[in-house]
Chain A
Amino acid sequence: ETGVTQSPTHLIKTRGQQVTLRCSSQSGHNTVSWYQQALGQGPQFIFQYYREEENGRGNFPPRFSGLQFPNYSSELNVNALELDDSALYLCASSLGQPSLNEKLFFGSGTQLSVL
């Protein structure tokens, strides 16, 4: 029903490598947010994009970066991977402007393991 898809579902990387995670938002959803969910924790906000511009950022270092494309897809890039980056990464899209705090539609996530 939600139409938010993420790829890959699982990924294993080694420390120091770079990774790109992908998300395809529901058609017409102009806002996309990325969250990191460590084991036993709630989702933690990384950043948000609205119409291809970064609209807000959580407490994550610059090596976490993103892109949003006109076709409602987006990417999360992480450089210089660290062991603590191991987590489930969630993409969530919403229909309207970020300030409207509309319902978020989540993807199933990408499980990243850094060895």
Chain B
Amino acid sequence: AQRVTQPEKLLSVFKGAPVELKCNYSYSGSPELFWYVQYSRQRLQLLLRHISRESIKGFTADLNKGETSFHLKKPFAQEEDSAMYYCALSGNTPLVFGKGTRLSVIA
């Protein structure tokens, strides 16, 4: 079975501090991992996917198959990063989402 775990419901950091949003997954095959973000009063949108290896808005995520993790990182948080972040996995079925982590960046 495919499962995504985001252990933190809420993460508060100060502006300029590093951010790490944790994501662990369970899947026996080769997964595709994604991070989706929902800003206030906006719809859910793709932030990044591991196969593209892009850095979007300063965020990066590395797939660690040994630890079955796909943590989202940013070296210096900005106030506009405050949002709901969802980790998602695609294996042999369409996307399975985690429960999400709300990131609050404090000025």
Chain A interface residues (CB < 8 Å from chain B): 2, 4, 33, 35, 40-45, 48, 56, 58, 90, 92, 98, 101, 103-109
Contacts and interface: CB of A to CB of B under 8 A. Distances in A.
A45 B43 contact: no
B56 to A, nearest CB: 12
B44 A90 contact: yes
Interface residues of B, number: 20
Which of A33, A42, A56, A109: most chain B Cβ within 10 A?
A42
A45 B94 contact: yes
Contacts, number: 49
Interface of B: 4, 6, 32, 36, 43-46, 49, 86, 88, 90, 93-100
Given A56-B94, A109-B43, 10 more contacts: A2-B43, A4-B43, A41-B99, A42-B4, A42-B86, A42-B98, A45-B93, A58-B93, A90-B44, A107-B43
A45 B49 CA distance: 19
A106 B97 contact: no
Contact of B46 (A33, A44, A104, A108): A104
B53 to A, nearest CB: 15
Which 8 pairs between the two chains have the least Cβ-Cβ distance?
A: A42-B97, A106-B44, A101-B90, A42-B99, A103-B46, A43-B97, A106-B43, A108-B43
B46 A43 contact: no
Contacts of A109: 43
Nearest to A98: B94
A101 B32 contact: yes
A90 to B, nearest CB: 7
A108 B43 CA distance: 5
